A = this chain, B = another copy of it.
Amino acid sequence: MSKVTIHELSKHIGERVEIDGWLYNKRASGKLQFPIVRDGSGYLQCVVSKKEVDEASWNAVDGATQESTVHVVGTVRAHQKEPGVVELGVETFEVRGPAEDYPITPMEHGTAFLMDHRHLWLRSSKQVAVLRIRSEIEQACRDYFYQNGFTLVDAPILTANAAEGMSTLFETDYFGKKAYLSQSGQLYLEPAAAALGKVYCLGPTFRAEKSKTRRHLMEFWMIEPEVAFLEFDGLQELAEDFVEYIVGRAVERCQEELKTLERDVSKLANVRKPFPRITYREAIELLASKGMPAEFGDDIGGDEETVIANSFDRPVIITRYPTAIKAFYMQPDPNDPDVVLGMDMIAPEGYGEIIGGSQRIHDHDLLLERIKQHNLPLEAFQWYLDIRKYGTFPHSGFGMGIERAVAWVSGVHHLRECIPYPRMLNRIYP
C-alpha cells in the first residue's frame, strides 16, 4: 500500500492507498458519509459506507470537525458521475489531530478577521488557488529570463542609497550607520549588466507609504531585468514578450485554480503581442476625448489608467512621459527633449500599471546634472556614476510588481490576497 498525494491519485485507480490530510467538508446520506479531504495538492471525495467500515471509522467520520487532520485508507476509483474525477472507497478513517472551533467557517467573515487569521485563512480554497497562481507566475518569470540567457543577480536589500525619496524608506541602524530597505534593485543591476550583459533580479522591495488603497503593500516583490546595449524600442518588445509568456503559462498550467476563482479566462486569451503603444501626448488626447481633460505634465492616475486601458483589448504601453514626472535616471528623447524614453504598461480590466521601465541615461555629465537637480546625495551615487565613466553603454530595463501581475491574472482586486503574508499599514501580524 502506498502513501500518495491527492493530486497523483488518478494514476492509482484500483489501488489501495493511504492519504494524510485535513477534513475540508462533509455530508451524509443515511448509511453513507462523504467526507471531503484536502492535502494541499487537491481535494478528494471519500465514500464511507456503514456496511463496509468498522464502528471506529464510522464514528470518526461522524465526529470529525472541519480542519481536523485525518488519515484515510481506501481504494481509488473513478467517480461514477464526473469523468476524470476520482474518489476513495474508504476502508479505515482516523482523526489524528482534532480541530475544535476552527475560526474560519463557511460563513462570511470580515476582512479584518480574515487578515488576523491569515495563517489559517491560507487554507481556504480561493487563497490556495491565488497562491498557486503566484507560484506559477514567479517560476514563469524566472524560466523566461533563464531561457533567454539572463543571469540572476540578487540585488541587496540593505542599502545606503535613498533613490526615490527619503520619506517612504524604512530605516535601520547598520552598526552605527543608517541603512534603508531597498525600493528597487535597478541601480545595482546596471553595473552587473556591464559584467554579465543581460541580468535580472526578483526579490522583496519596500515602501513605507502611509497609503491604504487596494493597490499598495509595504512589502512587495518585484522582477527587474536590465540589459546592456538594449535601447528603447527593444525594451518595449522585451516587456510585451515577457508578459505574453507569463500570462500564457498561468492560463495553461493553472486551469483548475482559475476555475476556482471563477476567472473569465477569455479576457486573458487576448494577451498576445504586439500590444498597442501610445505616447503620453496621445494618452492626454485620448483622455480629453473621453471627457477627462489633462494637461502635459499631469500624472496619469488610477482612474485615467482605467479609461485608457478600456480603450484596448489587451495591455497598452504608454511611452515618452514628461521629464518632470519621471525618475532622474531616464534617458531624454532625442527628438522631443521635454519627454523621456520611459514606458508604463497598463493591464486591462482596471488592474492598473503592472510594468514601469526606461532607457537609462548613459552620459556621465547629464546624469551628474540630474542627480544635482534632484538634490540627491552625490557621494552615495558615485559608484553609480562610475558606470558612465568606465566604458559607458546604452541600456534599458523595467520592473514588474509580482502582486499586481498575480491580481490581474487571478482576477482578485485587492493586492493583500496576492502575497502569503501581506504587510500593510497597521498590519505586520501574523
Write the residues of chain A forming the contact surface with B, with a CB cutoff of 8 angstroms.
5, 7, 20, 22-23, 39-41, 67-69, 96-100, 102-103, 119-120, 122-123, 127-128, 131-132, 134-135, 138-139, 142, 146, 149, 151-160, 170-175, 177, 179, 181, 188, 191-198, 203-204, 206, 208, 210, 218-219, 221, 228-229, 362, 380, 383-384, 386-387, 389-393, 419-421, 423, 425-426, 428-430
Contact A157 B204 (CB under 8 A): yes
Copies assembled: 2
| Interface-centre pick from A177, A193, A218, A228 (highest chain B CB count, 10 A) | A228
CB pair A429 B119 closer than 8 Å: no
Q: Describe A's contact surface by its main secondary structure.
A: mixed
- Shortest beta-carbon distance from A166 to chain B in Å: 14
CA distance A146 to B132 in the complex (A): 11
Could you tell me the distance between the alpha carbons of A61 and B306 in the complex, rounded to whole angstroms? 53
Does A40 contact B139, Cβ atoms closer than 8 Å? no
Indicate if the CB atoms of B177 and A98 lie closer than 8 Å.
no
Distance in angstroms from A206 CB to nearest chain B CB is 7
Is A228's CB under 8 angstroms from B40's CB? yes
B7 x A428 contact (CB < 8 A) = no
Find out whether the CB atom of B69 lies under 8 angstroms from the CB atom of A393: yes
| A390 adjacent to B194 (CB under 8 Å) | no
Known interface pairs A122-B192, A131-B196, A219-B156; A69-B391 also in contact (CB < 8 Å): yes
**Of all chain B residues, which has the CB nearest A139?**
B146
Note all chain B residues with C-beta closer than 8 A to A22: 194, 391, 393
